[in-house]
Amino acid sequence: MSRIGVFGWGIVAPKSPDIESFAKNLRSSESWLSPFHGFGRDNFLVGKPEFDFNRYRPWIDERFKPNRFPQLEEKMDLPSKYAIGCFIQALRQNPGLEEELTRLGTQAHAYVGTGLGNIGTLYDNSLKLYRAQRRWNRFWADPQRNPALAAYLRDPAGSGLDSEELPPAPDSLPEGEREGAEDAWWEFWTRRSEPLGQYLDELAEIESLSVEGEVEAGKTRLLREKRRRNRLLQKKWETPEPPWREVSANVIWNIQNTPAAQLSMLGRITGLAFAPVAACSTFGVSLKLAMDAIHRGEAKAVVVGATDSPPHPLVVGAFHTGRVLAADAQVSKPLGGMRGTHVSGGAVLWIVGDYDHMVSRGFEPLGLEPLAVGVSSDADHIITPSREGPTAAIDQALAASDTAPQDIVSWDLHATATPGDYLEVETLRQRFPESVLVTARKGTFGHGMAAGGGWELTAQYLGFASGTVAPTALSQDEINPQIQGIHQNFVFDAGCSAPVGPVGKLSMGIGGINACIISRPW
């Protein structure tokens, strides 16, 4: 079976715009979290990614037409931009990687997942659509343009409308209920607007125009003619813009597979490109898929990664309502007070490859050697982890890597500063000896929905490759007494020397998706 190596990596994380700053920041025990203030003022701390897309413009301008970077800047959501930045960082780790990924043809793949996708673009366009729909309905429901409503206002009893069908008039309701009542009232009368029907008939006639003659030239002429006639139609009826024209096409340019697709285009990678989505286990699942593809001989190199939007009010609010988010303006540290986690955004990306092939091409492996990834599902609960699911992933990874539990020298926890930390440590000790050195890092950079597991794994690889385990944010006097009663060997805020031997890392995602990675020093 082929050995696997990591030959390039890149990071976008809180206070860490690249892999170099990430490695440097790990040497400190300070938290990288900062106030959110996404609701005006609030008590949330989050991990805001540090990122400047313009840093990568020279690389893109050197390889593509001058309009490529402006297109990416205008059309791509931040998860795709983060992934692009990480990819360019990763290529720089080993000169010649870019050319090798292209040379490999369909034996180079890209598996880059996302936790929540283009939530910023969806949110912004949802608001824009809602406001445009209100303007549109209010316009066509105006009695001056709506004979049905005008007739009803003159003679409600003679309108023939069923009183149960008619929504309540907005001014008949308390002030707090009027906005929703306006939406229902205007929508009801808009559907009965004869002038709107006439407008739509004229619009349908314009949209029924089709391409004539030579296709490319005919397409351009058609678009111009439709735009011209639409302007005249709008001028004739003096309407606001229709709501369907207020939604940006960026909604579909930024679906879940877009980061992987963009990397395939920028890196001229012609093999399989898609988005594995496994919540907090996304990076581990992506790595397993890549290793499997290499073992099967379908790929020689795979770009794997995970990318998340910056913290957003929708996500912060949802996590808080789900009772898993800290909300007291203080850093909540795993294994400590268990007050909840902190949402973070950013990305992580590795270029992994067949060790023998890549070394024969002159490339040097980074960090540790990934031996195996075990995956499982709890099949139990949407958010509360089980004991059986993670154990199954751990056992699978140990067996696939031919590693005995007593050989493991260190372990990185998923630990989220919630009560699940206790169960996770308890599950760990059922498999591993008391000598195992345990780390938990979400108190440092927060909880990236998809990227967090990759940050933690990269931190593990950086530390053990250098012989020093970076400190965590937790001090020894902050650890939960019950957890310390189960296990005593943790990495606190001072860091320590790295023991030599195989190491493990567990991620547990929403829906009970687990990924366990076993690695060893080269």
Domain boundaries, the chain: 4-118+254-520, 122-245
Residue whose entry in the numeric block shows the structure tokens 């609030």 = 42
Q: CA-to-CA distance for 472 and 461, rounded, in angstroms?
A: 15
Residue 437 in this model has a pLDDT that exceeds 90 = yes
Report the first-to-last Cα separation within the chain, whole angstroms. 17
Give the global pTM: 0.96
Residue 241 in this model has a pLDDT that exceeds 80 = yes
Q: Domain spanning 4-118+254-520: which superfamily?
A: Thiolase/Chalcone synthase (3.40.47.10)
Q: Can you state the angle between helices 452-466 and 282-295, rounded to 10 degrees?
A: 70
The confidence score (pLDDT) of residue 78 equals 97
Q: CA-to-CA distance for 352 and 350, rounded, in angstroms?
A: 6
Give the H/E segment covering residue 6.
Answer: strand 4-12
Q: Which one, of 371, 368, 384, 374, lies nearest residue 423 by Cα?
A: 384
Do the strands 346-354 and 513-520 form a parallel or antiparallel pair, or are they unpaired? unpaired
Residue 162 in this model has a pLDDT that exceeds 80 = no
How do residues 127-147 score in pLDDT, each as one tens digit? 999 999 999 999 999 999 999
Query: In the chain, what percentage of residues exceed pLDDT 90?
Result: 93
How far is the CA of 44 from the CAs of 35, 176, 270, 362, 372, in angstroms? 6, 27, 43, 47, 37
Do the strands 343-344 and 410-412 form a parallel or antiparallel pair, or are they unpaired? unpaired
The confidence score (pLDDT) of residue 158 equals 78
- The total of other beta-carbon atoms located within 10 Å of residue 484's CB is 13
The confidence score (pLDDT) of residue 161 equals 78
Residue 389 in this model has a pLDDT that exceeds 90 = yes
Residue 159 in this model has a pLDDT that exceeds 80 = no
Q: What is the DSSP string of 323-334?
A: T-B--SSSPPPT
Residue 149 contacts residue 189 (beta carbons within 8 Å): yes
pLDDT tier for residue 219 given thresholds of 50, 70 and 90: confident
The confidence score (pLDDT) of residue 211 equals 86
The confidence score (pLDDT) of residue 361 equals 98
Q: Which one, of 365, 385, 378, 392, lies nearest residue 519 by Cα?
A: 365
Mean pLDDT within 330-348: 96
Q: CA-to-CA distance for 111 and 373, rounded, in angstroms?
A: 15
Mean pLDDT within 201-222: 90
